[in-house]
Each structure stands twice: as structure tokens, then as C-alpha cells.
Amino acid sequence: MSASSTATATSSAASESADPCCGAPLPVLGRDVAVPLVTGGEVTYAALDYAASAPALQRVWDDVAAYAPYYGSVHRGAGYLSQLSTDLFENSRQTVHEFLDCRDGDQVVFTRSTTDSLNLLSAVLPADCQVFVFETEHHASLLPWQNARVTYLNAPRTPAQAVESLERALTDRDPYGPALVCVTGASNVTGEIWPVKELAAAAHAHGARIVLDAAQLAPHHPVSVKDLDVDWVAFSGHKLYAPFGSGVLAGRADWLQEADPYLAGGGASKKVARRTDGGVDVEWHTTAARHEAGSPNVIGVYSIASACKALTEAGFDSLVEREQSLVRKVREGLAEVPAVKVLSLFGDDAPRVGVISFVVEGWNSSHFAAALSAEYGIGVRDGLFCAHPLVRTLLGSDPQDPGECGAPEAEPGERSLNAIRVSFGAGTPDEHVERFVAAVQELVANGAQWNYRTEEGRCVPAV
């Protein structure tokens, strides 16, 4: 049996061992974890913070466990296990290429995360490149462009306004230099889906390129590089039901090939020779390896490929349909509580993924989230979600108001610059969403059953 077929066999055996998941299309790790409640007893934990990190699929974990005995150094050895690992690594690259429906000639570069991917792209920008980015972006796609000429666009209030705003900015730019547009596929704050295809058309009509931050889109919807006509796409494994520490930048090869390696070292270099003057001459790879210096994270890469296969085999049509039923259930439940305000840029009718942020009148968001956890066993997120300008715009606060990502300073009961986010996906049972809606309604109606205090910027149950 070849190295490649052995790797396939381990994956198949693992996938066949996955058991059904209580009420969710894809089983995830931690679905049976019991957590204590401050009011006494235990309850099965409801993980509703998928937008930060989705739990790993059981399928992914089983695939990795099946591969583990065959672990070997990638691209570094003649032994059987090394060759098997190399095959697995490169086959994973092809799996991701197919998952994203990339064009012929597009490169798939493995990174540590979406943040790493976009910083890599920032590092290879041509000289004098202009970058256009909406203030609504996650910090991973808002901040990497500091060394370029950046134009920050104001938050649009409709998808059409987003396209119009970009077109105006591109019309006013220097038409002779390179330009790049960076846009999210789905907001990590509101869950709203952005008009990526229309923005790509506007970018290309004005001679610019576009990179898609698909960190929140890829786990919920199919992403086709060809159909959207984007130049690059970036996403993280830990949003896509794979463990931490791996990411992807996929797209056009020319800027990647023309720039110096993102990291210099083994793997990126094709040939190194001493010069007579005492220095060294380096010939760098022109493949994706050019920006993958060092021993690669083969397990992280294989995890991403396994998750891509699982989502593809489950069928995005059915996954999207079910997720939308959960979105409706949450939104309808929150709409029954007058004190709750759901945050939105594009309005109630905008298409969205399973990410919903809100504030509750009379509640510090950190206090509310702490009560959901301590009294109901529900894990959500509170804060500014690493999208400070967007959340401040949605909350109507002054840009200079203090606030930290996930660490509000206000005491419980005081108004603070933060919100609550609930997020879910293919591993979420209906019961978790139903418990969340009931808990929100009960907390608003009756208040918390426990006392809370602020400790190191976080709201926690008082002992």
C-alpha cells in the first residue's frame, strides 16, 4: 500500500467511527461535557461561541488520531512515515483547493490563522500599493495594512451602499498604482453576509484586487473563488471545526512569487550557496513553499482538510437550511423581549450566518454573559469582538471611549462599551438554542439569581 493510500485508509476508518450527534448534523467534541451551576447541580454545556472558535468535529479528531501513529516530518525524509506525511500534507492542499473552488494556478498557502494569512498578504504587497478596507472589519483584516497607503471606508448601512462607497473611493485613487480591497464575507459581529461578488466586480473594474476574509463565511456557506471572482481568500481552521493553529491563504500566485518569503528559512529556500565575498546567495521556491518556511503543522493542515471534507459530504444546502432555522428561532425569541436590541448594519432582512450580537437595556453585557454561563451553563461572548470600530458604530458610542476586546471595565449594572454575541453552527443541537432563548427571557424578566463582581476586568460570580 502506498503512503497516500494508507493516509486515505486511516481517514476513512476514522470517519466511519463517528457517532450520531444529539440533534445536530455534525458531531463535535465536548457535546456531552457537564458544567456546574452556581445555583447547584450540573447541566450539559451549551457552546454558543462558534464565531470565536467552533468546537472540533468528532470526524476531524478521529482522523487526526488515526493518522497520529504514522506521524513523520513533512518534506524532510526518505522514510515511509515521512513520505506518507508529505503525501497527506500535499493532498490536504489539494482538498482545500477544491473546497474553495480555486482557479487553475491558484496557490494554497498554509498559515497559522486568518490573521497570519492577511499579514502574509500585507507583507507581499507591491511597492506603493493602496489598500481599501471598511471600518467594519475584524481587526485581523483591519490592521495588517499599516505599512501601506490605507483608505478606511465608513460603515455602510446597506449592501448597495457598500458597493457605492468602494466605487467612489476607487474612482478617486491613483489609477496607475496597484490596489487591494479587503472585505469580510460575513461579519463576526452581526453575522450579516456582505456583497462580495459585487465588491469584487467593482474592484476589478477599477484595476484593483480583492481579498476575502472568509473566517466567518466558510464554516457556514460554500465559498467559491471562481464564482465570487476574488483574488485571495483567507480563513482559520479553528473557525472551521478544526483545532487551533492552522489557517489558509489561497489565491493568485504572482504577488506571492514576486515577493521575498514571509519567513526566511528551511523549506522556503530551494538553493543556498556561499559567495566569494563571504555572504550567501539564495534561490527561493516559487511554489507555496516559498511562504511556508520551517517544519509545517501537518496535523493542523490535515485537520483543515478533514473539516473541509466533512462539510462537503454533509452538504452545504442542508447545513445552511438548518442553520437558518436556528437563526430564526433566536431572532424570534429575542424579538419577544423589548429590552433586547439586536445589532445590525443592513437591517432585519439581510442574509446572515449564525452570529447574532445584542445588548440588553439595564444590563452590563459582561454581567449578562456571566449569568448565562454561571446559572444556565451557556457559553457566549461579550465585549467588542476584536471589531472595535464596528461595535462602537453600532452602539452609537464615541470612537475615543475606552474599551477592551472582551474585557469591559464597567461594574455589573453600569453601561459599558460592549455587547453580547451568540453564535452557532453545524454542531449545535436545537436544545442549546432553545435553552439560550429561554434563559435570556428569564434573566430579563426576573434578574440574576446570584451576585456578581468584577475581577481583573471580567464579571464573575461572587463567592
Per the CB < 8 A criterion, the answer to whether 163 and 198 are in contact is yes
Q: Annotated catalytic, 386?
A: yes
Distance of alpha carbon 453 from alpha carbon 187, whole angstroms: 31
Q: Which of 380, 343, 424 has its CA nearest to residue 24?
A: 424
CB atoms within 10 A of CB 286: 13
Angle, CA of 406, 246 and 351, to the nearest 5°: 60
Residue bearing cell 453580547: 420
CA distances from 102 to 97, 249, 250, 360 (A): 5, 11, 8, 43
CA distances from 371 to 168, 341, 407 (A): 46, 18, 16
Q: Among the options 129, 308, 386, 459, which is catalytic? A: 386
- The Cβ of residue 438 has, within 10 Å, a number of other Cβ atoms equal to 12
Nearest-angstrom CA–CA distance, 440 and 342: 13
Q: Which helix (H) or strand (E) holds 183?
A: strand 179-184
d(CA 57, CA 34) in angstroms, rounded, equals 18
- For the annotated catalytic residues, the residue numbers are 386
